[in-house]
Structure 1
Amino acid sequence: MSSVSTDEVRQSIATTENVVSLEQIIIDAGKIACELFDQREAFLVDEKSPGQFVSEADRRIETFLRTQLKQRFGDRPVVGEELGGKYDGDGWVIDPIDGTSNFLCGLPLWSISIAYMEQGEPVLGAVYAPLIDTLAAACIGQGIRKDRTPFTRNDSRNPVPTFSVGENTIWQRENILRTLEQLRGDGFEIVRLRSASLSLAMAGLGQLDGFVERHLKIWDIAAGWLLCLEGGLKVNVEEHRGHERSIWTGVGEA
């Protein structure tokens, strides 16, 4: 991939051409991730916090993504879940494996997530779950893409209305249970994929009717946030102290 200047990136980041480039980068990262998935038992695993794991696979994929993004889009700010960086509302945000526990257990429900932020909002992004062959991408104002082609989301509910609900140790259990009760009262079946990025991508593509989780990091939601917006869903993002965010997306009001 050829390099471009920072000035060119500033002028052209949210374009269809750049979506196509981002799709290729994330597909290439997915190939590496699948190779690492087959070797997962050999990796050292650290526990970041209760129930939150990071493996050497996360670090390798994020390093690859940082290199490719710099080569294609120039020297821009980057923050990633594993290698850090400073996030001030502009630049790339990366989650190399969202759903690391699924990955380490041999489950296919994990994804790679990349987004470019401008003034705190996503303008370019992609989510790729290679083991279930799901690729979604978008740039602001140009609609959602599925498997590298333009895609139109069905506005109606699924035959079995289904909402994905995330779960983490910061979101208090009683509040999670209250959310589940409300959604079931509204007629939704509930699934938990243990990957916010993948849940949001599936909502944007119409495979789910919505997603909700509180107290996430920006890399968990950035690309999926954009995919849901460009898929035509309502999205409500709330910022908390410590740069945590809560997200709700669906066809109606939160």
Structure 2
Amino acid sequence: MAVELEQLCAVVLPLARQELLPRFNRVAAAVKADGSVVTEADLACQQAVSAALAAHWPQIPLLGEEMTTAEQQRLLADSAAGLWCLDPLDGTSNFAAGIPYFALALAYIRHGEVQLGLVYDPVRDECFSAARGQGAWLNGVPLRTRATGLALARCVALVDFKRLTPALATRLACSPPFASQRNFGSSALDWCQLAAGRGQLYLHGRQNLWDYAAGSLILAEAGGCAETLQGEPVLHVGLQPRSVVATLDPALFGPWRAWIAAAGG
């Protein structure tokens, strides 16, 4: 059974609005074993989306962020036929603190590649989506590479300092090659802001599969470039976290990557 992006959006978006918005800034947060935050909204949204996907595509299993590591590993070991990868609430710390920057992120992975990606921001009602080889969209409008003509010194960079090495983080903070820096607190949405041209550079030291799977396809289909700090493809269908160096404009990727390498990244 083929999975159509339009149908997927129709199934998932109403659930994200229903499960997340009424709970925004109204639920208590707990801390998981890995130090990350989880709320009732994470669990309720994952349960609702999982049930809806199973009803429409019963043959495709779902790997969710809020599953145990053992469950996730079991699913990945048998993922060749395809699976969903869901982060029901990316930006949970923002959500719990009342900061309106969070999203649901969903990817369909098959044969080791992301085939479909969907990131939905219910606060702004913005749906970023992509289908492999077919393009990327924001609320149905195509996202395409735009040559900026900018030097690094004039760029806005989306940088998560927390997960970088102290040496690289210090160099970026004290001698940045860009004009301005932002860190919004949702990896999935950051990929999409880059794909939409709301910033020119991106750097993150550690993301999980559910953080980057959907967003990496959206950026790639918009014409952007990305790799890890080690120069490898970002996508790896496993639980090992991955770093990200990315730009939307391919002309900026080489200079950005070279500066990071020279700085010890």
Q: Does 1:69 align with 2:53?
A: yes
TM-score normalised to the size of structure 1? 0.82
Residue aligning to 2:62: 78
Aligned with residue 249 of structure 1, among 227, 246, 251: 246
Q: Distance in 1 between matches of 2:237 and 2:144?
A: 33
| Offset of residue 242 of structure 1 | 5.2
Aligned to 1:94: 86
Do the aligned partners of 1:214 and 1:246 also contact (CA within 8 Å) in 2?
yes
Deviation per residue, 1:104-158 (Å, 9 max, x gap): 1111111110001123321101101111232110100111111134343433268
Indicate conservation of the 8 Å contact 1:22/1:125, yes or no. no
Aligned letter for 1:80? G
- Residue 110 of structure 2 aligns with an amino acid whose one-letter code is E
Is 2:23 the partner of 1:36? yes
Structure 2 counterpart of 1:174: 167
**Residue of structure 2 equivalent to 1:4:** none
Aligned to 2:260: none
Other structure's SS at 1:243 match: coil
- Answer whether contact 2:120 2:126 (CA < 8 A) is retained: yes
1:136-182 residue CA offsets vs partner (Å, 9 max, x unmatched):
101001111111343434332689621111244x5433333335567
Query: Are 2:106 and 1:114 aligned?
Result: yes
Aligned residue in 2 for 1:155: 147
Q: Give me the whole-angstrom Cα distance separating, in 2, the residues matched to 1:28 and 1:179.
A: 40
State TM-score, norm by structure 2: 0.79
Query: Which segment drifts farther, 67-76 or 110-119?
Result: 67-76
Matches within 5 A, 1:145-224: 145-156=137-148, 161-168=155-162, 171-180=164-173, 184-185=176-177, 187-224=178-215
Asked if 1 retains the 8 angstrom alpha-carbon contact of 2:91 and 2:185, the reply is yes
Contact 1:123–1:140 at 8 Å: present in 2 too? Answer: yes
Q: Is the 8 A contact 1:180 1:190 kept in 2?
A: no
Superimposed CA distance per residue, residues 88-116 of structure 1 (whole angstroms, 9 cap, x where no aligned partner)? 45411111111101001111111110001
Separation in 1, partners of 2:14, 2:219: 24
**Alignment partners' CA distance in 2, 1:100 and 1:157:** 36
Distance in 1 (alpha carbons) for counterparts of 2:8 and 2:144: 20
Task: Select which of 221, 226, 230 maps to 2:217.
Answer: 226
| Structure 1 pair 161–87 and aligned structure 2 pair: CA distance change class (3 A) | same
Q: Does 1:60 align with 2:33?
A: no
RMSD over aligned CA atoms reads 2.5
**Aligned match for 2:96, one of 96, 99, 104:** 104
Which shifted more, 44-53 or 76-85? 44-53
Confirm or deny that 1:140 pairs with 2:132.
Answer: yes
More displaced stretch, 220-229 vs 82-91: 82-91
CA displacement 1:32-77 (0-9 Å, x = unmatched):
211121xx43x34220157520001100001111112122223212
Tell me the SS of whatever aligns to 1:76.
Answer: coil
Distance 1:98 1:27 in 2: 15
Q: Secondary structure at the match of 2:123?
A: helix
Q: Assess if the C-alpha contact under 8 Å between 2:87 and 2:106 holds in 1.
A: yes
Q: Which ranges in structure 1 are unaligned for 5 or more consecutive residues?
A: 1-7
For the Cα contact (< 8 Å) 2:208–2:240, is it kept in 1? yes
**Matched ranges for 1:21-32 at <5 A:** 21-32=7-18
Aligned to 1:129: 121
